[in-house]
Chain A
Amino acid sequence: MMRKPLFGALVLGLTAQFSVHAAEPKLYPTGPSEDSAFIRFVGALDAPIEVRAGKDGRIELAAHDSTTWQAVKAHSPLGATLVHGGQNQAVDVSVQPGEFVTVAALPDDKGGWTAGIGRESPTDFSAFKVSLGLMNMAEHCSNAAIKIAGKDVAIVEDVAPKGMKRRQVNPLSLSVDLYCGGQRSGDPVNLGGLRAGERWTLLVHPARDGARLIPILDRMP
């Protein structure tokens, strides 16, 4: 993982622009009046990208790297610009309470890149299980599925483009194959030894010859 010093500046930028969810009520009765909202950025390209937000917020993400989840104010319009190879992609999103939004720089199937947005509102939090999510950002990958590598054992299946599904598994060492429309796509992806409490997002993105999978370990702020 490559984390540049610019990360702090990005957080500050998001804070300034989006009023990051920092002021929780303190007095009894507490607990927020609505659930938290989170956003993160993923560089799914084979090269670094830059993320800019607000006046001075910017971060460089290494290839296949992601930021931690950042708490943001729900319902508010959030803007960011993804920069790579002299090309800018502006993104505007709003995050709902309880929602986790992933903004990714994705390769397209023509050798270029584009920005993608994935949303989920998970409820399967557990310190005893591993949560595996399949987030399909590949338009041409129908009925995305992941199976145990080399076996016809589905872990998550039938995820439509722009869709997302999660399931809990026990802690174990795992390699997975990606399937699109019933056909295996790409090489097996080794997730290593999964530990209890971890949450993973397996991001499906377009590639020149089909679709590929990038594993992202979800990290809370």
Chain B
Amino acid sequence: MPASALMGLTLLVIGDSHLATPSYLIGTLPDRLVEEGAKVHTIGVCGTNPADWVKPSPGDCGMSERTGAETPVRQESGAKTTAISELIAKDKPNAVIVVMGDTIGAYKNPEFPKSWAYQQTSALTKAIAATGTACYWVGPGWGSEGSRYGKTFARVDELNKFLSENVAPCTYIDSTKMAQPNEWKTLDGQHYLGGGYKKWANAIADAIISNPPK
């Protein structure tokens, strides 16, 4: 059996609420990456936007951090990002995996705020690129419509198109290609039930394995 493309790599995973609650993606993605032989450090700060990771910024709804496949540590108050440059300097990862998109969807705004989103995404990709570290950007999946967050499939599609065009040099991973709308059931329109997070984690890992960091 050939070695996994991730064997021996160090991966840093950052993101928003999907990585900030232990039963969400932070509970499934690191497991799979570790199984593939990677050393993994995962941090999720709920509610953060991409530019919040350029310099330390507060998160208003908690955070979680996980080393490898150890139990995630949830912090309810005092949540704060760490600057990506500092994380990269400390972890020296072969690649950064950014899981972010729902926080910039502005789902309740009838217009997608492109200029703001451009500022947000370019700030983070430039900060990562400045370190010369490879990166992947995982966009939002379909979720479900009609929830309290106002997520719609049309906006998710628009958001994924925007991100796919604007996160280079990060490699974009389009989560809407991994399932049909409504296929992964959600708690609240945005956050998946456990089965969805398991499938999402595997699909993300497969996408990285098929195009590993150079």
Contacts and interface: CB of A to CB of B under 8 A. Distances in A.
A123 B116 CA distance: 11
A26 B107 contact: no
| Majority-rule SS of A interface residues | loop
Interface string A73-98: 00000000000000000000000011
Nearest to B108: A29
B115 A28 contact: no
A98 B113 contact: yes
B165 A36 contact: no
Which interface residue of B49, B123, B125, B169 has the most chain A CB atoms within 10 A? B49
B206 interface: no
Interface in B68-91: none
Most B-side CB within 10 Å, residue of A24, A31, A123, A221? A31
Interface in A1-51: 24, 26-38
A126 B115 CA distance: 11
Interface stretch (B30-38, B57-65, B196-204): B57-65
Given A24-B49, A27-B60, A99-B115, 14 more contacts: A27-B61, A28-B190, A31-B107, A31-B109, A31-B116, A32-B106, A34-B113, A97-B115, A125-B162, A127-B168, A196-B168, A220-B118, A220-B122, A221-B119
B175 interface: no
Interface residues of B, number: 37
A71 interface: yes
Contacts of A98: 111, 113-115
Contacts of A126: 165-166
Contacts of A123: 114
A181 interface: no
Contact of B165 (A31, A125, A221): A125
For chain B, what secondary structure do more than half of its interface residues adopt (helix, strand, loop), or is it mixed?
loop
Contacts of A29: 102, 105-108, 149-150, 190
A122 interface: yes
A127 B135 CA distance: 14
Contacts, number: 96
A182 interface: no
Contacts of B125: 127
A29 B196 CA distance: 20
A197 B123 CA distance: 12
B166 A71 contact: no
A127 B107 CA distance: 23
A51 to B, nearest CB: 22
B122 to A, nearest CB: 6
B115 A31 contact: no
Contacts of B102: 28-29
A67 to B, nearest CB: 15
Contact of B103 (A31, A38, A122): A31
Contacts of B59: 26
